[in-house]
Structure 1
Amino acid sequence: MSLRPTPRGWALLAAAVVTFQLGVWLGSIDLVRIGLLLTALVVTALLVALLRDPARGRRRLDVVRSVAPNPVHAGEETQVRVEVVASDGAGRARLAGLRLAEQAAVELSGGRPLRARVARTPDRVTVRYPVRAAQRGRWPLGPLVVTRTDVFGVVRARSTLGGESEVAVWPAVSALPAPADVLVGEPDRVALGARTPSTDDANLRDYREGDDLRRVHWRSSARRGALLVRSDERAGLRPVSVLVDLPVRSSAAEWTVSMAASMALAMLDGGHRVRLVGSAVGARPQDGLRGGATPFLHATAGTGARAGLLDLTVDLEAPRNQQEADARLLDAAHLLDTSDAAGQIVLAVLGPASHAARGALAHIGDATQGWALVRGDGRGLDANEAHHTAQALRRAGWRVAAAEAGEDPVACWLRLLGAGR
């Protein structure tokens, strides 16, 4: 808490000093008393303001802050409601003279003062205001800043009230058309998850994370004492892994996350089990920056699956340099190559890849259906490396389409669906 005299308070202090010195010089006890009285007035106001701090004591004011919707997509608006409540007469007296100001991260306020509607009752102050989420991430709201003056207007006290709240911001996403019956070349295979019949459902294997429980062979599982599933990976809808390769540039990173999230949601809505892979996916920033993978999510979980998938994108951070970006992509490619990805669909949003990463990704294409958007920025060496990456993936059997950061996600998606080997 900060305490400062107001201009009136400074004037009283100046008058007190002058009056006291004048009284001493003239030998006037009355003037000395007046100077001391004026000084005592300001000091008493300071002490009272300190003792009546609304954030301290047994009769402190309570703050309740709610944000709806929360999380919110980047570029969308959310409404904030803050209530300051007094529970007794002393609290109501404190509440009456308060001026309230809310604090918000620049990513929510745009760096401008928040414009709020305030409603007051004797025991409650309600503040409502909108914020627009400008960027993916987790951003703080609060605490409240309260300002009050004493009854004589000689002291101004400023303090914080209540704690912080957090607004989680999902990436902006686009509604992509659901892929259906997009042929990949061989007459008996259908890309992007169209149903293909199983030739022999009698072959069984151990259950793996992400397998559809509808494929569990319960009789054999009971006999073995462990879950067994039909081994034909093409029975039903194939699982989908969405590979996210974040660039160093933050603007391109946000487009990459939005594109990958849109693709993942399209596949999830189509009935697939979906997971995210790469760029420290599934790890908190303090846990390190290596490539990872999330558990598979399935639309049978309802709207919670969409929210769960988007939650996984909130904390993704761009690499600090190109070496780190290359290491992340290589780790993610190796993870896909060693995680029973055979028969899966791999959707990737990639930048120009190193020679080692291109080799690892090419190996994945031998066992999966690979579809990649290769991001380029149209400049010199990066554009050349993006071209080499696309060519290497095509030679390995991937479907590849070029894309530019900031391009319309729907146009990129349709271009990818129409891509050939």
Structure 2
Amino acid sequence: MGAWRQRLWRRLQAWARPRTHESLPVAIDRKRVYVLPTPFGLFFALLLAAMGLGALNYNNNPALLLALLLAGTAMASLITAHLQLSGLRIDALSAEPVAAGEPLLLKLSASARDGRRRRGLSLRHGEAASALSLDDLGEALLPLPTERRGWLDLERIRISTQRPLGLAIAWSWIWPEQALLVYPAPETQGPPLPTQISDTGAARLNPAGDDVHHLRNYRRGDPQRAVAWKPSARRDTLLVREYEQPRSAEVILDWQSLAPLAYEHRIRRLAHWVDQAERENRRYQLRLPGQPALGPGQGPAHRHACLRALALLPHADGAR
């Protein structure tokens, strides 16, 4: 598309509904649906005009009747294309965060208020496109390109169809106010985890541990498998084994320790270490400037909290 077409398209979008962000769910009514002929539809209209003029010129009633029937079919296709969108409802959208540079899969859920089936619907967000059918679940996955970490503000999403005959295209816009999170891209071929660890002690008591720590008197609710039968028989009282589980070292991921690196490089290095600590099943703590320390912890929730904090740090051009 040429530059002048893009400028014209953007000006037309400024007049289309909605003109601001909107919260979901959103119902698409007839005031939000726009219909125009496709290139094939324009060719078909010219063909019908030629047929009609020829039939009138030669006073050919069958040809004139055929032209009128085809024109009525074309008008019916315009109305049908409009009805394909009118009555739709966009219920929700969501996306799992991904690292910058990877496609973010936007999951969009839709339904039909009137219960009619819709087929042949397409979604478009910028250059990304996907198909949507309201036969079963009414869900579509729209891959969105990501370039920078942080919040990804959605542009207008176009829902369109050219059914049933491809003579006209009907479309509508939705502009969700929801922003999607993009994690920072981790450093490739980064160094191993730092050797700085926190003082966590040697071990902790754990009923599912590996080593027996001591014996104690039985308490109501203790599992039967933990009862030490032989010592209990010797002492004539029920004794229970208390186990211990060695604690693994907790790694400290400190922003200040990466002072020699550039600002964005620090973020990528810390993101790499977060993923590496998760792969190695290590507990870790993330320390960022001006924020309370995150952790120590481990698991999907802790990983998300750390990567979210890294993603929402000010960008290099706005960082002090």
Report the TM-score when normalising by structure 1.
0.40
**RCO greater where, 1 or 2, for CA within 8 Å and sep 6 or more?**
2
Report the TM-score when normalising by structure 2.
0.49
